Amino acid sequence: MKRFHHSNPAHRPGGFSLMELMIVLAILAMISAMAAPQLMSMIRESTVFEAADRVRETLGQARQFAIDTGIDYEFRYELNGPAMVLLPSESELNLDDSGSMSTTTEEYVRLLGKLSEDMRLRADEGVEELSETLDAERFGSLGGSELSRKTWSRPIMFRFDGMADDFVFRVSDKEGLTSKIDLRGITGTARTSQVYQEED
């Protein structure tokens, strides 16, 4: 004898209704709208901090070049621009070991670095930024004709004994998010601060 099973609507498997899906999507949209500004702020802060850390690493290279070569090195940054350079403080001499003129000269290391176009490297607040242009020869093989047309900061010196000039830099984006780099003269080392919003 056949038995007939009656389906119970309460036990019937089913999917989400259109109304339930709309409610879930609305909740997700609200959460995204609340989280998006904070996420964008975190991304901007990370970008500024990475740029400041790049400057800190370049300062560390200047110190190492000075120690390795036994001559002082200059760190300069472009005023109102994204470029920075490491240059030896003295020119190469065409002298051999006996002090006679030589036709071969080992070129000193020079370095050109750039931040992204929307970043600016400046001195700390209240510090007067002195500017100067440099002869193309100072830049060696870095592309002196173009770099000699830029306006550069005064030199921040790194000495062959590992010491440097005391100086505080600011790296800022267009909206004023800023990180400071504190260069300590006694040790020649630099430290990067947390990102903060500069006041107008």
pLDDT tens column, 89-133: 988 766 555 655 544 456 889 999 999 988 999 999 888 888 899
pLDDT tens column, 7-64: 555 555 566 787 778 888 888 877 777 766 777 778 888 999 999 999 999 999 999 9
Q: Could you tell me if residue 72 is inside a domain?
A: yes
Q: Could you tell me if residue 118 is inside a domain?
A: yes
Whole domain around residue 127: which residue ranges? 38-197
Q: Could you tell me if residue 13 is inside a domain?
A: no
pLDDT tens column, 140-196: 889 878 999 999 999 999 999 999 999 999 999 998 999 999 999 999 999 999 999
CATH number for the domain spanning 57: value is: 3.55.40.10
Query: By C-alpha distance, which of 28, 53, 199, 71 is closest to 119?
Result: 53
Cα-Cα-Cα-Cα torsion 188, 144, 127, 122, nearest 10 degrees, comes to -80
Please state the pTM of the whole predicted model. Answer: 0.76
Number of folded domains in the chain? 1
Q: Could you tell me if residue 90 is inside a domain?
A: yes
Place of tokens 């802060």: 45
Distance CA 30, CA 160 (A): 58
Q: Could you tell me if residue 11 is inside a domain?
A: no
Q: 51 by DSSP, 3-state: which?
A: helix
Q: Could you tell me if residue 172 is inside a domain?
A: yes
